[in-house]
Chain A
Amino acid sequence: MVMLAPHIADDALDYRPASVVMDINRLGTLYPYPLSFMRSLVRRILREKWDIQRTHLSLCDEGYGEVIYSVKTPNGIFSYVIFSKYLDPNIRSDRVIAEDWDMTVTLCEGEVDSGRLDVLRANVPLQEKGRVDSSCFVLSRANKSARNFNYVVDSLSSGQQPDLDVMAKVGYLYRTTAVYGSGKFGMAVWDKVKSKYPDFASPFAAEMFSCFLIRDFSLFQADYVAKKRAPDTAVEMAPPIKRYVGIGNATGLGMAPYLINHPLLINNWIEVRETALARVKRSGPISDDKRGDFLCLAEKAMQHLDEISTDNADQNALNLKAKTDMAALVKWFQGAQVSAWSELTEHAELHFSVEAQELLNVLLLELYPDLFTDLEESLSLEEVYSLEASMSVRDLKRLVETHYDWALGIDYTDPKTQGIFWYRSEEKMEPRLGQRFEEPGAANEMLLGIGWYVCESYRDLCEYIEKQGDELTTARFVFENPQHRYIVRRMQTMAKTRYGEIRINAIDLDVLPIHLLRCKLSFFGVGKFDPRSRMWVRNTMFQGAPLISDIGQTVEDTWCFPIRPEVNG
């Protein structure tokens, strides 16, 4: 069978099998890596020396008002427009269904004159209830971490740097609660962004850039308010602490359907990552320098895990287990004199947790970015799920049995395996989970239980073959069973990929959507996962990343696994 994109497949490489890689429990342990979108974006900004300036500033002493950033890239001029306001703490909410926020923003093409600013002012703060035009391509909002923000402003205004113990506990001043792109609310669609704005033509680059600038504004605002409060005593936050401040993020169920609805794209991201790992394991030379780098990086990663603050007992246990396993792995490595990194990964696979295995993989990827940064361009692809009309039903049956064995293995006669349904709530169409046998709404279920649809279509396919023989075409089968056309073309398409579907029964009573969230967030480059339930997670973006003021300086791409900075005085 012909393999589909991502065109980077190298059969000489030793790829891990889909049964291992696509297991949802493993995908739920992924860490960011050098091709994660925010890492790629920052490399690009620094390499191309983007000119980012605050060109319009209209703020009151408390930092409320409007700011416009002018962004000059090699290919264009863009504006990033921020509306900041006082928000009653009693209505501050990270939920999608919130109606008001501390900060609302948009990223748009070109410069913003007063007439355009009027239009944006009337719409951007409304978020989902507003409309923007197709020159805009990100719409987002963020809420203050009020306690942290106030603490930082108090410290700075009294002439003190914020205490790193406090900053380590909550590593941000603001949390984004939604970042919209891809044509929402009248904005430019991805195809336009991709073709017209090459600076943002990689997946989620514009959305990540928006978060990067929210972070910058949060730092600027803290300095600004402190200075206004106490002009004589205030100090600016020290750059090393600023770099340690990221931007918080709250991600809920809304992100989960994306992964299930875009299996080609997700397969592509996974395949790129696995290609990178396979290249490193094949070609990454083990020199004394690299041994030393590995040990330093492992130490840093363990400290990073140690510094993660979460109230979630399960996550704490996972972090602790990963750290303990990594320590044992390092000890083994120091005594083993391995001659290839694959010896280390094989040892980890035999003796340590999945968390530790994936942590190790990322450490190896961090050691040799030059072996795979060429893959950056392969991360986006056009998703086409095309029915292979002429395939015989015999071949179709074999295809399902071969590529969807994981789904056929689910026993859907057990009520638990279909105990959940996903639906859209009337509150802003927020995706939610319902208990199938206890709550109303299952008739309006979203099509996310892929395994169930696979089994239904397979059952009907077998009956069809029983009655009609196995020579007829897939076209005949779906004509007579139109309810299966979607899943059949999806299966036919995914069967041509290396990794196929995420292996999850999304309608199982015990499903953990948080694994889907972490998987996607790791590709974004997000770290410090702080699960608040099995359905949503707080996390931190850009912690440790360079600042806008670092553009033009020599900055290494080594801000993975951010740890507390050393600050003198």
Chain B
Amino acid sequence: MSGETHLYLSLNELRALMRRTYEALYHHGYDFAVMARSCLWLEAHGLDGIGLIIRSLPDLETPAREIKLSEPTPNHFLLEGYGRCLIPFINASTDLAIAGAQESGFGQIDILNVFGRLNVFAALKKTARLNLYSAAIWYDATEARTHILWLQSSQNLPDYFILNEVHQGPWGKSGLRFLCSTEAEVVKENVRRVLPENTSPHKTAMELEKAYAHALENGISVSKNTYAQLNKIADRLLVPSTDASRRGAGE
């Protein structure tokens, strides 16, 4: 059992909590079930999904999100995120690239001016299930580091690389490129433009898988403060109990 400052949540508990949190934030305006699963997957694979949410909360709490979509080519989409958190629209955005890959063998999105880019992780998992190959590349200007998630084979998890180098590319200082293809070589060619040969991953697919197995077995340690913070948001969904509402439970 955990100490006083932390508690262990099962994967289901975390997913349920995140579903309610996103539902409380956006009602049914976004696909809250997938958003919750994305957070769960990050956390369960040892990639601090909860921390990402907590750091993003000031933005997530701010409604009125706008995204501008343009389409330079039929399978290349350009999105302007206006400095907002990627979480609410990452899944619908990567759908565009996935559709491109399924239709013509290759699809790509470049999202500009966003943060919380590690949330793209779930999209790579999805492409694996669809027998696609994929990668996500972004440059973090505050750390001056380049991040690459690369799904290299039929394995169901990507390798995660972090380079201490500047690779701004067309996605700029705070953007993200996500690409996927039916051909492994096509993705590899794109990734190799940024990632030198023989670079060791920051986390290998196997390490991510081990982290997940550990979380599945033992649950996820979450600070009680964080747990309370998320529950405070999720609890906005709860409706006060009255005599009338008790009748609504069958009394």
Closest-by-CB residue of A relative to B96 is A475
Given contacts A131-B7, A189-B10, A486-B31, contact A390 B239 (CB under 8 A): no
Q: Is the CB of A184 within 8 A of B10?
A: yes
* A134 close to B218 (CB less than 8 A): yes
Measured in the bound complex, the distance between the Cα atoms of B34 and A384 in whole Å is 11
B249 x A252 contact (CB < 8 A): yes
Main SS class of interface, B: helix
Per a CB cutoff under 8 Å, which of B13, B238, B250 touches A533?
B250
CB-based contact B33/A424 at 8 Å: no
Q: Does B216 contact A (CB under 8 A)?
A: yes
Question: Taking A478-B92, A479-B93 as contacts, is the C-beta distance between A192 and B217 under 8 angstroms?
Answer: yes
Shortest CB-to-CB span from B162 to chain A, Å, is 29
How large, as a class, is the contact surface on chain B?
Answer: 35 or more
Q: Which of B28, B96, B217, B245 contacts A447 (CB 8 A)?
A: B28
For window 71-118 of B, CB contacts with A under 8 Å fall at 88-89, 91-93, 95-96, 98-99, 102-103
Q: How far is the CB of B104 from chain A (nearest CB, A)?
A: 9
Given A183-B13, A187-B10, A440-B239: A386 and B88 interface contact (C-beta under 8 Å): no
Contact in complex: A478, B248 (CB < 8 Å): no
- Check B249–A189 contact: CB distance below 8 A: no
A386 near B249: Cβ-Cβ < 8 Å: no
Structural contact, A426 and B240, CB atoms closer than 8 A: yes
- Contact present for A183 and B10 (CB under 8 Å): yes
B248 engages A133 (CB within 8 Å): no
* B251 proximity list for chain A (CB < 8 A): 95, 533
Q: Pick from A196, A387, A483: contact of B28, CB below 8 A.
A: A483
Q: Which of B7, B9, B129, B217 has the largest number of chain A CB atoms within 10 A?
A: B217
CB of B8 within 8 Å of the partner chain: yes
| Minimum CB distance partner of A476 in chain B | B96
Q: Is A556 an interface residue (CB 8 A)?
A: no
| B-contacting residues, A512-569, CB 8 Å | 532-536
B239 touches A423 (CB 8 A): yes
Question: Given A183-B13, A424-B237, A474 and B245 touching (CB < 8 A)?
Answer: no
Q: Is B139 an interface residue (CB 8 A)?
A: no
**Interface residues as binary, B7-40 with A (CB distance below 8 Å gives 1, 0 otherwise):** 1111111000000000100011111111000000
- With A133-B8, A192-B217 as given contacts, are A252 and B250 in contact (CB-CB < 8 Å)? yes
- Please tell me if the beta carbons of B10 and A482 are within 8 angstroms of each other in the complex: no
- The answer, yes or no, to whether B228 is at the interface (CB within 8 Å) is no
A474 to B244, CA, bound (A): 42
Residue A425 contacts which of B88, B89, B93, B238 (CB distance < 8 angstroms)?
A: B238
Do A389 and B8 touch across chains, with their CB atoms under 8 A apart? no
On whether the beta carbons of A426 and B95 are closer than 8 Å, the reply is no
Known contacts A425-B241, A486-B31, A253 near B8 by CB under 8 Å: no
Q: How far is the CB of A444 from chain B (nearest CB, A)?
A: 5
Bound Cα distance A485, B244 (Å): 34
Give the docked Cα–Cα distance between A473 and B29 (Å): 20
Q: Is B64 an interface residue (CB 8 A)?
A: no
The verdict on A443 contacting chain B, using a C-beta distance below 8 Å, is yes
**B188 at the A interface (CB under 8 A):** no
Contact between chains at A486 and B33 (CB < 8 Å) = yes
Given contacts A478-B95, A485-B34, A486-B31, contact A389 B102 (CB under 8 A): yes
Cβ B129 vs Cβ A386 within 8 A: yes
Cβ of A10 within 8 Å of any chain B Cβ, yes or no, is no
Chain A residues whose C-beta falls within 8 Å of the C-beta of B240 in the assembled complex: 425-426, 441
Pick from A186, A252, A426, A440: contact of B9, CB below 8 A: A186
Residues of A within 8 A of B99 (CB): 389-390, 473-476
Q: Does A188 lie within 8 Å of B10, measured CB to CB? A: yes
CB distance from A453 to the nearest CB of B (A): 8
B residues less than 8 Å from A384 (CB atoms): 129
Is the beta-carbon distance between A532 and B250 smaller than 8 angstroms?
A: yes
Is A434 at the interface (CB under 8 A from chain B)?
Answer: yes
CA distance A479 to B88 in the complex (A): 11
Nearest residue, chain A, Cβ from B88: A482
Does B69 sit at the interface, judged by CB under 8 A?
yes
| B203 on interface, CB distance cutoff 8 Å | no
CB contacts (< 8 Å) of A432 on chain B: these are 239, 245-246, 248-249
Q: How far is the CA of A447 from the CA of B20 in the complex (A)?
A: 11
Query: Which of A389, A390, A425, A475 is the one whose CB lies under 8 Å from B249?
Result: A425
Q: How many whole Å from A464's CB to the nearest CB in chain B?
A: 14
Q: Return the CB mask of B131-172 against A: 1 if under 8 Å, else 0.
A: 000000000000000000000000000000000000000000
What is the CA–CA distance of A508 and B78 in the complex, to the nearest angstrom? 43
Within 8 A of A (CB), among B194-251: 216-219, 235-241, 244-246, 248-251
**Residue numbers in A under 8 Å from B9 (CB-CB):** 186
Task: Report yes or no: B12 in contact with A429, Cβ–Cβ below 8 A.
Answer: no
A208-257 contacts to B (CB < 8 Å) = 252-253
**A119 interface hit (Cβ, 8 Å):** yes
* A284 to B147 alpha-carbon distance, docked (Å): 62
A343 contacts B by Cβ under 8 Å: no
Selected contact of B245 from candidates A187, A387, A425, CB within 8 Å: A425
Residues of A within 8 A of B96 (CB): 389, 473, 475-476, 479
Question: A386 to B89, Cβ gap below 8 A?
Answer: no
Question: Closest residue to A188 on the B side, CB-wise?
Answer: B10
Are A424 and B238 within 8 A (Cβ)?
yes
B208 shortest CB reach to chain A, Å: 16
Given contacts A133-B1, A432-B248, A486-B28, contact A186 B219 (CB under 8 A): yes
Chain A residues with CB under 8 Å of B250's CB are: 252-253, 532-536
Q: A390-B102, A390-B103 are contacts. A131–B10 as well, Cβ < 8 Å?
A: no
Beyond A480-B69, A486-B32, 12 additional pairs, beta carbon < 8 A? A119-B1, A131-B8, A134-B217, A186-B7, A390-B102, A425-B240, A439-B244, A440-B239, A482-B88, A482-B89, A483-B29, A486-B28
22 A-B residue pairs with Cβ-Cβ distance under 8 Å, sorted by A, are: A131-B8, A134-B8, A183-B13, A184-B13, A186-B9, A187-B10, A387-B95, A389-B98, A389-B99, A424-B239, A425-B241, A432-B239, A432-B246, A434-B248, A441-B239, A441-B245, A447-B28, A475-B92, A475-B95, A479-B92, A485-B34, A536-B250
For the complex of A and B, the 10 pairs showing the least CB-CB separation, nearest first, are A535-B250, A183-B12, A183-B10, A441-B239, A390-B102, A389-B99, A475-B99, A475-B95, A432-B248, A485-B31
A contact residues vs B (CB 8 Å cutoff): 95, 119, 131, 133-134, 182-192, 196, 252-253, 384-387, 389-390, 423-427, 429-435, 439-441, 443-444, 447, 453, 473-476, 478-480, 482-483, 485-486, 489, 532-536
